[in-house]
Structure 1
Amino acid sequence: MTVGTFVLLSLAGGVGAVGRLLADAALTRGVPRRFPWGIFVVNVVGSFFLGFVTGLAQSSVLALPWLAVVGAGLLGGFTTFSTAMVDTVRLVAEREWGAALANAVGMLALTIAVAVAGIALGGAL
């Protein structure tokens, strides 16, 4: 990895993290805190786009250094498994069993499905 790619990847990670914060705040504004919809949506959307850019890279439409910048940097900073699991633990502690199961298992299943769809779409271009 070149120094330039490393710098762009690092900056993109910061932009992605700020994007996550803003998206979560916008998606949850005025919504009761019971279910973490903001992070759920962020992870699903991010997984689709990570799949999409991976598909583009696999079909040689996107160069590998840009996959690192956009995929690992921007989308890696945007998505967050750790926050999703903390939200799940919070739901369990609050005895919100259905919401905890939906958050953990539902998010995992949905993010895998949209990542596969993104890879297929990106690879078809």
Structure 2
Amino acid sequence: MPVIFGVALGGALGASARYLLDRLIEGRSDSVFPWATFAINLSGCFLIGLISTTLIDRQHLPAWIRVGLVVGVIGGYTTFSTFAQEGLSLVDARDLLTAAAYIGGSVALGIVAVYLGQTVGRTL
């Protein structure tokens, strides 16, 4: 099976999951803080750590599945461009404390989330 099919299928699944979770979180939050993107990106960081240690490192999966999961599903699910746009919007609105918390928290906690995902993956 061609790798591009795995990426396309995974991307459709990841982007759909991101959209649904975004709607769910945004519908429950009145905060200026972009909680939906924050939660989506952090959970994606955790998942890429988990997937990289469980499904990819330990098992001999076909390339279309490996690439489809990482590039397709996780790539379609997470969103760096929305993170950057929302961070800049907070700066433009002069909400510098929220911008710093969002940008710094996303980067620092994203690294922690990948580490935790890898740690959990190694114990499975």
Contact 2:49/2:117, CA 8 A, preserved across alignment = yes
Instruction: Tell me the residue number matched to 2:27.
Output: 29
The percent of aligned pairs where both chains have the same amino acid is 29
C-alpha distance after superposition, 1:31-84 (max 9, x if no partner) = 2251100000000111101110001122x1362622211111101100011101
Q: Which runs of 4+ in 1 moved over 6 A?
A: none
Distance between the aligned counterparts of 1:32 and 1:95, measured in 2?
Answer: 18
When the two structures are aligned, how many residues end up with a matched partner?
122
Q: Does 1:117 find its partner at 2:119? A: no
Contact 1:12/1:73, CA 8 A, preserved across alignment = yes
Distance between the aligned counterparts of 1:62 and 1:46, measured in 2?
Answer: 23
Aligned-CA RMSD value: 1.5
Instruction: Tell me the residue number matched to 1:43.
Output: 41
Q: TM-score, normalised by structure 2?
A: 0.90
Q: TM-score, normalised by structure 1?
A: 0.89
5+ residue gaps, structure 1: none
1:120 shift after superposition = 1.9
1:117 shift after superposition = 1.1
> CA 1:104–1:34 in structure 2 vs 1: closer, same or farther (change >3 Å)?
same
